[in-house]
Amino acid sequence: MTAASASLALPANRSALRRARDWAANPWARPRFLVLVTWVYIVWSIAPVIIAIQFSFNAGRSLTAWQGFSLTRWYFDDPENSVWNDPALQGALIQSLKLAALDMLIATPLGVLLALGLARWRGYAAEAGNLLMLFPLVTPEIVMGVSLSLVFAYLFDFIEPSTTAQVLGHVTFSLSYVVVIVRGRLFSIGRQYEEAAADLGATPWETLWLVLLPLLLPAVLSSMMIVFAISIDDFVISQWLSCGADCDTIPIRIYSATRAAPLPSINALAAIMVYFTIAALVLSYFLFRFLTRGERAAGKAGRSVVQDMGGFDM
């Protein structure tokens, strides 16, 4: 009986295997093998993060075994270890947000001006400036961290390792991203709108303020978003310019926690960061759509989705 069912199961099994192979190799329709790779990759890239967020809702203290659901224990309830009640975690959250906000406020205007200047100013000095601007994009963060910490220690020694030093470091590495994004937009809108405004009698100031700036707004918005994201994500620069526990950001907290005995509150802290970014992302996406609505209607079919979001078209 059992032998018979086993011998029956075998060919069925084999044909299922062959069917799976034929399905993946299918030469006529869409390349299913690529579909498979793509979706497996996407699940693989997202699942660990979702599981980590899931453990921030663990009712127990474990990060590896699920002990029941608790919505708020590691966020608010736990009197000692929740993000809300542990001063170290709360401090890290505030420090991260503070750095990201200051970085955004300083790097965006500075970068927009630099982008305008470098895009329109011709000559050797501009070429050199352009080169200088590209370097921070490709310099490994550890090199920037070492050099900034040394310059603050031996040359600009009036700046101690502190929040100020961290902000200066963050602006230095985020500046170039703003320039690249804004400059891309600048090239794609061309100069005809400004020329039209000038022909119609606008002063240079009016042209800048009433024509160019509104046209640049989507790029400004994208760059603010990206500066916020890379600043909140940054670990290396924050660590090298840190003044100790008071300067700890969320990534620094996570780093030191993984090597001690972490509690789900560290996952909660990391998850809060994800909630913040997703909220900001959704908000800026709709703002972006709103700001570029005319262009979409006018049909810029050639532009890819990637270019639309602005950040990755270096």
Partner 1 sequence: MYPRGLWPLFALPGIVWLLLLFLVPFYAVIAVAFGTVDPIFQNPVPVWNPLDWNYDYVLETVIGFLPGNDYWRVFVRTTKYVAASLALCLLIGYPVAYYISRHAGRTKSLLVALLVLPFWVSYLMRMLAWVNLLAPGGYVNDILTWTHLVTTPPDWLNGNPYSVVLGLVYGYIPYLIMPLLASLDRIDKSLLEAARDLGASPFRAFVHVTLPLSKTGILGASVIITLPMFGDYYTPNIVSGSPQTSMLGNQIDIFFHGGPQPAIGAALTMVLSTFLGVLMVYYMYTVAKASREART
Q: Which of residues 111-140 bind partner 1 (CB under 8 A)?
A: 111, 113-114, 116-118, 120-121, 125-126, 129-136, 138-140
Interactions with partner 1, residue window 289-308 (CB under 8 A): 304-307
Phi, psi of 113 (to 5 degrees): -60, -45
Q: Which of 92, 236, 247, 268 binds partner 1 (CB under 8 A)?
A: 236
The answer to whether 288 and 199 are in contact (CB under 8 A) is no
Q: Is the dihedral of CA 55, 60, 61, 63 positive or negative?
A: negative
Judged by CB under 8 A, does residue 175 bind partner 1? Answer: yes
Is 215 an interacting residue with respect to partner 1 (CB under 8 A)? no
Amino acid at 101: A
**In this chain, which of 6, 155, 298, 301 binds partner 1, going by CB under 8 A?**
155
Nearer CB in complex with partner 1: 175/227: 175
Instruction: Confirm or reject binding of residue 251 to partner 1 (CB under 8 A).
Output: yes
Does 255 contact partner 1 by CB under 8 A? yes
CB nearer partner 1, residue 8 or residue 143: 143
287 binds partner 1 (CB under 8 A): no
Q: Is 168 near partner 1 (CB under 8 A)?
A: yes
Measured from the CB of residue 11, what is the shortest distance to partner 1 in angstroms?
24
CA 154 – CA 137 distance, rounded (Å): 25
**For the purposes of burial, counting CB atoms within 10 Å of the CB of 234, is it exposed (0-12), middle (13-18) or buried (19 or more)?**
buried
The answer to whether 161 and 241 have CB atoms below 8 angstroms apart is yes
Other CB atoms within 10 A of residue 92 CB: 27
d(CA 234, CA 97): 12
For residue 102, state whether it binds partner 1 (rule: CB under 8 A).
no
Pick from 140, 159, 137, 139: which is nearest to 150 by CA? Answer: 159
User: Does 41 interact with partner 1 (rule: CB under 8 A)?
Assistant: yes
Given the rule CB under 8 A, which of 16-24, 67-75, 80-88, 142-150 is the region that contacts partner 1?
142-150
